[in-house]
């Protein structure tokens, strides 16, 4: 039971299979042969590069399985495939982990540690993770990506494409330096993009305070505002009222004092109740626009004297609502995007006294040197002490946190660099309309996101990233954008003595001294770029496109990309943006958006919950093929998938059946000396039986539909259909029919025809399986297919997708009916209490269309002497299957009793043969000892039958010296067998 190194062991063992196959692939360079180009049409895949930070888990495995299926399928279809791997190796996640490892708490710590050492640590860290990704995220999965030629975003030849794109943006007037309010992480000391902010929304509890601002020139008239960020009051510059809303001046008595509070009229009674004010009355109302211009005293004028020196007043704004707060909105232009816009409109000063690290600077007066998180509490205390705090509460709301370190984010105004996406948004949208986004139902999200796309903040105040290639003239502030490393070298007056790899990274790049005729000293803007720009230029950078135009021209736009739904706003977007900017076109033709991976309870996987399933654990426990098959069959790729490791064993059973089908074939083909080249299907099919033509019809349907499902990315349907064919049609049905033909020693032509058919079916089924379970398909190809067909391709992965032959629909229909009739017959036997081993004289079938066609097979399957077509005689036991009805006599016929006993004896001998470990071809001697005359008569009558079925050369009735005692229908029978 072996061919070469591939043995068909009694049962399927994924680990042994995968190990043997991996060695075979390596030794024979199958992957190289698979990926090499033969001048065929190219199917170009662009790898969404995993961040080599953290270990691959089942979510990655899901996406990477889909990639592999699509690539293998297209190779089978005859395409030359482009399967370059890629790795995303820079960015904040890497820095964050290094900081944790080195126990660095702030950017100052990093600087003290040394930027050079820090950058090298980051590089070492991604290098380390890369090994895991190569092994567990790729090789052990059986994912055939070209890792030798994988692109790496940290390489000079790669990252300079991000520079090219920025330069192109600059030339097109799309690079902007702007002062804007952005989210910052004070811990990481950098701004974040919209995408990064979106990753970190979490519910939290914050203060919810109502504060009164005293109206200038009065000692008891106030404007009442509401905020959840007390620290921003330090930088308050105005109060906004809606121009159309009514505002009330409310006379209130608090303690001993009589005061006048301004707030929205509609909210007065509910707020008075909230504040616990019992005595109040409205004495005047004004519309917001009438209130405008009213001046007030900054509530922290004493704490921050600078503020007292300026005037503050009420302005109007449409964005004011009455859903929360008081209808009067505290405006801190340095800490809110709407506030900022309003300030620009009214010429109000933008004050930001908070530095990037969250510490107040000299503009912060009393709060100078303190951290924003502490000031948040201190401001409340100070307001309370000054009697300006009207009411204090807590609020639970969704608020953004840093996606890496979890710190509460703050909004602050700062100078940053942008790509003004708003100006190419329409072009991006129209290009996106040409892309096939799968599934249709998720494309809306992508469309909407692109239509609403905002300018892209690309600058980050970090270290381990692609440096922003913008230099500024120290003298006059002009800027210079460098588009490549060569260009930089040409411009440089002085270059640090390091290799190119270091030269394109911080801190070394900042040691480059540039001077030009018109400017003595250029200074680089101290930023790196958003990491999404790194992977975003892969459509060009992966193949160093500007230097390899011919290759790039064959690949672009790429046929296929696929990632998770979260990448709609991530990579899918950054690819589209940079490509439209640079080439005016979308960089891909088809985008497959994958659903999320959840744990078995439908919960999102996260490290903190501890429910992450790691690739390594999964493969070590189950093997890659079962995991792949499970993932593929459980859900459509775009649906969320709840992953339950225990369910993997279900698909294991299916692969076990595939394995056993090959073993079955091997068992009999080797006994009978079958050879696919000596018995070609085309010649021998004519000598076969109808069931052979039936199974080929079923196979042809499979071949056609499997391909059409895969083309639509309906992997789950393709796999389900394959499974159904292998388990039901092939194993349960066809092989059951085949038994009677293969057991015979006679070299009948129909047996060889059956072998030719079976061989063709198994071979075809393995080629289809090669796209989703590449290891076991290869193993069986080597162990079985190549054993019986020497000229078969060296590897199943070098085969071609089979041509689908004709389908005889009527034949398929007839066989469907046959198995329904058998099912009804079995049910009738069950009711009558007659087991299948006992022959039945006659069965009637009615309501069938094709009964005449398969009567012989039904006799065999149902162990019936005669099948009659027609209605049931009186007193017979009936059972129905749909329209079809089967019935049998209610009692066993006496004349069939000996035959029944003979079958019982055969069955016992077969069990004993197997227990004795005999080969199928071994002959035996049998002794039967019994007092039962019936059993003795049965043996005498059916001596030839028993001998033939059990390969007995000698069958005696007499004294057994050993063996085993059985109970056959109440009779004690001792049977002894010996190898002849």
Partner RNA sequence: GGGCCCGUGGCUUAGCCCGGUUAGAGCGCCCGGCUGAUAACCGGGAGGUCCCGGGUUCAAAUCCCGGCGGGCCCA
Query: 452 vs 959, which CB is nearer to RNA?
Result: 452
Query: 12 vs 367, which CB is nearer to RNA?
Result: 12
Query: 25 vs 734, which CB is nearer to RNA?
Result: 734
User: Hey, which residues between 950 and 969 contact RNA (CB under 7 A)?
Assistant: 950-951
User: Hey, which residues between 451 and 480 contact RNA (CB under 7 A)?
Assistant: 454
State the Cα torsion 32-36-41-43 to the nearest 10°.
Answer: 40
**Selected range binding RNA among 76-84, 240-248, 460-468, 654-662, rule: CB under 7 A:** 654-662
Q: Which of 604, 609, 809, 865 is catalytic?
A: 604
Dist CA 965 CA 980 (whole Å): 21
Name the E strands within 237-293.
238-241, 246-254, 257-264, 280-287
Rule CB under 7 A: choose which of 263, 593, 657, 766 binds RNA.
Answer: 657
Query: 59 vs 365, which CB is nearer to RNA?
Result: 59
Under the binding rule (CB under 7 A), the answer on residue 422 touching RNA is no
Is 49 known to be catalytic? yes
User: Hey, which residues between 588 and 607 contact RNA (CB under 7 A)?
Assistant: 596, 598, 600, 602-604
Q: Residue 862 in contact with residue 822, Cβ under 8 Å? A: yes
**Selected range binding RNA among 69-77, 135-143, 496-504, 732-740, rule: CB under 7 A:** 732-740
Residue 633 CB, shortest distance to RNA, in Å, is 9
Under the binding rule (CB under 7 A), the answer on residue 759 touching RNA is no
| Nearest of 296, 411, 356, 426 to residue 106 by alpha carbon | 356
Under the binding rule (CB under 7 A), the answer on residue 671 touching RNA is no
Instruction: Give burial (CB, 10 Å; 0-12/13-18/19+) of 913.
Output: buried
Is 280 known to be catalytic? no
Under the binding rule (CB under 7 A), the answer on residue 172 touching RNA is no
374, two tokens: 């502490």
Dist CA 950 CA 921 (whole Å): 10
Residue 258: how many other CB atoms lie within 10 Å = 11
Dist CA 577 CA 456 (whole Å): 10
User: Hey, which residues between 888 and 907 contact RNA (CB under 7 A)?
Assistant: 903, 906-907
Measure CA 372 to chain center. 39
Helix (H) or strand (E) run with residue 759 in it: helix 749-769
Is 607 known to be catalytic? yes
3-state secondary structure of 940: helix
Under the binding rule (CB under 7 A), the answer on residue 672 touching RNA is no
Under the binding rule (CB under 7 A), the answer on residue 201 touching RNA is yes
Q: Residue 364 in contact with residue 300, Cβ under 8 Å? A: no
**Selected range binding RNA among 30-38, 633-641, 704-712, 772-780, rule: CB under 7 A:** 633-641
119, two tokens: 């950058």
Residues 6+ apart with CB under 8 A from 442: 565, 568, 593, 638
**Selected range binding RNA among 265-273, 369-377, 460-468, 656-664, rule: CB under 7 A:** 656-664
Name the E strands within 910-959.
924-930, 952-957
Rule CB under 7 A: choose which of 147, 197, 328, 541 binds RNA.
Answer: 197
Under the binding rule (CB under 7 A), the answer on residue 394 touching RNA is no
Q: Which of 567, 637, 659, 802 is catalytic?
A: 567
3-state secondary structure of 189: coil
Is 532 known to be catalytic? yes
Query: 493 vs 835, which CB is nearer to RNA?
Result: 835
Helix (H) or strand (E) run with residue 964 in it: strand 964-968
Residue 77: how many other CB atoms lie within 10 Å = 16
Under the binding rule (CB under 7 A), the answer on residue 911 touching RNA is yes
Residue 595 CB, shortest distance to RNA, in Å, is 8
Residue 194 CB, shortest distance to RNA, in Å, is 5
User: Hey, which residues between 634 and 653 contact RNA (CB under 7 A)?
Assistant: 634-636, 639-642, 644, 647, 650, 653
Query: 214 vs 903, which CB is nearer to RNA?
Result: 903
Q: Which of 49, 186, 557, 889 is catalytic?
A: 49
Under the binding rule (CB under 7 A), the answer on residue 656 touching RNA is yes
Rule CB under 7 A: choose which of 378, 566, 808, 934 binds RNA.
Answer: 566
User: Hey, which residues between 912 and 951 contact RNA (CB under 7 A)?
Assistant: 913-914, 918-920, 922, 924, 950-951
3-state secondary structure of 214: strand
Q: Give the C-alpha distances (Å, rounded to integers) separating 113 from 117, 187, 190, 405, 823.
A: 7, 17, 19, 20, 77
Query: 251 vs 640, which CB is nearer to RNA?
Result: 640
Q: Which phi and psi (to 5°) does residue 962 adopt?
A: -145, -130
| Signed CA dihedral, 680, 681, 682, 688: sign only | positive
| Signed CA dihedral, 294, 295, 297, 299: sign only | positive
In the sheet with 175-185, reading across from the earlier edge strand, the strands are: 190-191, 175-185, 410-419, 456-457
Q: Residue 902 in contact with residue 941, Cβ under 8 Å? A: yes
Residue 666 CB, shortest distance to RNA, in Å, is 9
Rule CB under 7 A: choose which of 195, 335, 506, 751 binds RNA.
Answer: 195
Under the binding rule (CB under 7 A), the answer on residue 75 touching RNA is no
Question: How many binding residues for RNA (CB under 7 A)?
Answer: 74
Query: 584 vs 833, which CB is nearer to RNA?
Result: 833
Query: 71 vs 735, which CB is nearer to RNA?
Result: 735
Q: Which of 607, 646, 894, 944 is catalytic?
A: 607
Residues 6+ apart with CB under 8 A from 58: 597, 605, 612, 613, 614, 615, 618, 627, 631, 643
Q: Which of 144, 183, 522, 571 is catalytic?
A: 571
Helix (H) or strand (E) run with residue 840 in it: strand 840-846
Under the binding rule (CB under 7 A), the answer on residue 975 touching RNA is no
Measure CA 499 to chain center. 38
Under the binding rule (CB under 7 A), the answer on residue 524 touching RNA is no
Q: Which of 68, 88, 534, 599 is catalytic?
A: 88
Binding string, residues 765-794; x marks residues near RNA by CB under 7 A: ------------------------------
Query: 28 vs 451, which CB is nearer to RNA?
Result: 451
| Nearest of 809, 784, 584, 553 to residue 664 by alpha carbon | 784
Rule CB under 7 A: choose which of 285, 420, 731, 932 binds RNA.
Answer: 731
Rule CB under 7 A: choose which of 2, 5, 10, 204 binds RNA.
Answer: 10
Is 88 known to be catalytic? yes
Residue 811 CB, shortest distance to RNA, in Å, is 20
Is 567 known to be catalytic? yes
CA atoms within 13 A on the CB side of 288: 21
Rule CB under 7 A: choose which of 705, 827, 893, 934 binds RNA.
Answer: 827
440, two tokens: 């249709």
Rule CB under 7 A: choose which of 120, 198, 405, 479 binds RNA.
Answer: 198
Dist CA 53 CA 279 (whole Å): 62
Residue 139 CB, shortest distance to RNA, in Å, is 27
User: Hey, which residues between 536 and 565 contact RNA (CB under 7 A)?
Assistant: 565
| Nearest of 226, 228, 229 to residue 320 by alpha carbon | 226
Q: Give the C-alpha distances (Å, rounded to integers) separating 864 from 17, 840, 846, 892.
A: 43, 5, 16, 11
Is 571 known to be catalytic? yes
Residue 359 CB, shortest distance to RNA, in Å, is 26
Q: Which of 532, 638, 684, 722 is catalytic?
A: 532
Query: 509 vs 631, which CB is nearer to RNA?
Result: 631
Which ranges in 436-559 belong to alpha helices (H)? 440-451, 485-491, 500-503, 531-536, 538-541, 549-555
**Selected range binding RNA among 275-283, 483-491, 834-842, 864-872, rule: CB under 7 A:** 834-842
Residue 266 CB, shortest distance to RNA, in Å, is 18
559, two tokens: 């046929």
Under the binding rule (CB under 7 A), the answer on residue 392 touching RNA is no
The residues annotated with a catalytic role in the active site are: 49, 88, 532, 567, 571, 604, 607
């Amino acid at each position: 039971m072996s061919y070469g190194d591939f043995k068909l062991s009694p049962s399927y063992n994924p680990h042994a299979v995968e190990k043997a196959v991996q060695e075979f692939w390596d030794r024979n360079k199958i992957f190289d042969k698979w990926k090499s180009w033969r001048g065929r049409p190219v199917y170009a895949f662009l790898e969404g590069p995993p961040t080599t930070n953290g270990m691959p888990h089942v979510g990655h495995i899901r996406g990477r399985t889909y990639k592999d299926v699509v690539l293998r399928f297209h190779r089978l279809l005859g395409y030359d495939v482009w399967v370059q791997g890629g790795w995303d190796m820079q960015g904040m996640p890497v820095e964050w982990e290094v900081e944790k490892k080195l126990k660095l708490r702030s950017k100052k710590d990093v600087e003290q540690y040394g930027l050079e050492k820090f950058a090298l640590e980051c590089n070492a860290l991604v290098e380390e993770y890369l090994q895991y990704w190569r092994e567990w995220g790729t090789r052990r999965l059986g994912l055939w990506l070209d890792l030798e030629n994988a692109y790496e975003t940290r390489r000079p030849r790669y990252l300079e494409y991000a520079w090219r794109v920025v330069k192109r943006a600059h030339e097109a007037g799309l690079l902007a330096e702007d002062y804007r309010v952005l989210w910052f992480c004070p811990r990481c000391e950098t701004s974040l993009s919209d995408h990064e902010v979106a990753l970190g929304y979490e519910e939290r509890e914050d203060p919810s305070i109502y504060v009164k601002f005293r109206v200038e020139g009065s000692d008891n008239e106030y404007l009442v505002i509401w905020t959840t960020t007390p620290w921003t009051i330090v930088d308050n510059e105005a109060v906004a009222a809606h121009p159309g809303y009514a505002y009330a001046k409310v006379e209130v008595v608090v303690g001993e004092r009589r005061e006048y509070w301004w707030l929205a009229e509609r909210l007065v009674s509910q707020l008075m109740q909230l504040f616990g004010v019992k005595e109040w009355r409205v004495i005047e109302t004004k519309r917001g626009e009438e209130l405008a211009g009213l001046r007030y005293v900054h509530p922290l004028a004493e704490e921050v004297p600078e503020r007292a020196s300026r005037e503050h007043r009420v302005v109007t704004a449409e964005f004011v609502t009455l859903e929360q707060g008081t209808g009067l909105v505290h405006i801190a232009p340095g800490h809110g995007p709407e506030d900022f816009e309003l300030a620009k409109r009214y010429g109000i000063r933008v004050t930001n006294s908070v530095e990037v690290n969250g510490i107040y600077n000299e503009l912060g007066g009393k709060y100078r040197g303190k951290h924003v998180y502490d000031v948040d509490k201190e401001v409340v205390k100070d307001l309370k002490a000054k009697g300006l705090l009207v009411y204090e509460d807590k609020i639970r709301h969704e608020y953004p946190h840093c996606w890496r370190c979890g710190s509460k984010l703050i909004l602050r105004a700062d100078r940053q660099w942008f790509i003004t996406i708003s100006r190419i948004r329409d072009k991006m949208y129209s290009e996106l309309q040409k892309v096939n986004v799968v599934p249709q139902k998720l494309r809306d999200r992508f469309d909407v996101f692109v239509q609403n796309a905002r300018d892209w903040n690309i600058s980050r105040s970090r270290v381990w990233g692609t440096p922003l290639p913008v230099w500024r003239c120290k003298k006059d502030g002009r800027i210079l954008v460098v588009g490549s490393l060569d260009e930089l070298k040409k411009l440089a007056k002085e270059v640090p003595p390091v290799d190119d790899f270091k030269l394109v990274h911080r801190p070394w790049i900042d040691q480059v001294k540039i001077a030009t005729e018109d400017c003595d000293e250029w200074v680089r803007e101290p930023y790196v770029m958003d990491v999404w720009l790194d992977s975003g230029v892969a459509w060009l950078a992966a193949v160093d496109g500007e230097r390899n135009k011919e290759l790039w021209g064959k690949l672009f736009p790429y046929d296929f990309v696929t990632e998770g739904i979260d990448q709609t706003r991530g990579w899918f977007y950054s690819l589209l943006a940079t490509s439209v900017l640079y080439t005016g076109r979308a960089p891909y033709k088809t985008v497959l958006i994958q659903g999320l991976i959840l744990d078995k309870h439908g919960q999102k996987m996260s490290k903190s919950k501890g429910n992450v399933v790691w690739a390594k654990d999964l493969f070590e426990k189950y093997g890659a093929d079962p995991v792949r098959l499970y993932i593929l069959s459980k859900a459509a790729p775009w649906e969320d998938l709840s992953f339950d490791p225990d369910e993997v064993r279900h698909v294991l059973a299916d692969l076990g059946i595939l394995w056993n089908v090959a073993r079955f074939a091997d068992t009999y083909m080797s006994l009978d000396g079958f050879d696919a080249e000596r018995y070609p299907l085309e010649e021998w099919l004519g000598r076969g039986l109808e069931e052979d033509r039936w199974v080929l019809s079923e196979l042809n349907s499979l071949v056609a539909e499997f391909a059409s499902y895969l083309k639509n990315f309906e992997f789950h349907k393709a796999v389900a259909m394959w499974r159904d064919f292998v388990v039901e049609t092939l194993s349960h049905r066809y092989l059951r029919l085949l038994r009677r033909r293969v057991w015979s020693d006679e070299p009948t032509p129909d047996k060889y025809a059956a072998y030719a058919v079976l061989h063709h079916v198994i071979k075809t089924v393995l080629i289809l399986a090669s796209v989703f379970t590449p290891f076991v398909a290869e193993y069986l190809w080597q162990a079985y297919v190549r054993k019986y067909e020497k000229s078969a391709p060296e590897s199943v992965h070098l085969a071609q997708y089979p041509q689908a032959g004709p389908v005889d629909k009527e034949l398929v229909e007839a066989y469907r009916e046959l198995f329904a009739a058998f099912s009804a017959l079995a049910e009738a036997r069950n009711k009558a209490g007659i087991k299948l081993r006992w022959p039945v004289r006659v069965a009637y079938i009615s309501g069938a269309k094709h009964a005449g066609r398969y009567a012989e097979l039904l006799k065999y399957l149902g162990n019936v002497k005669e099948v009659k077509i027609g209605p049931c005689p009186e007193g017979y036991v009936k059972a129905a299957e749909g329209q079809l009805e089967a019935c049998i006599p209610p009692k066993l016929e006496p004349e069939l009793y000996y035959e029944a006993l003979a079958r019982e004896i055969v069955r016992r001998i077969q069990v004993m043969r197997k227990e004795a470990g005999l080969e199928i071809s071994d002959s035996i001697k049998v002794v039967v000892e019994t007092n039962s005359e019936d059993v003795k008569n049965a043996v005498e009558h059916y001596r030839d039958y028993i001998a033939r079925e059990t390969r007995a050369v000698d069958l005696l009735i007499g004294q057994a010296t050993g063996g085993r005692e059985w109970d056959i229908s109440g009779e004690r029978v001792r049977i002894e067998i010996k190898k002849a």
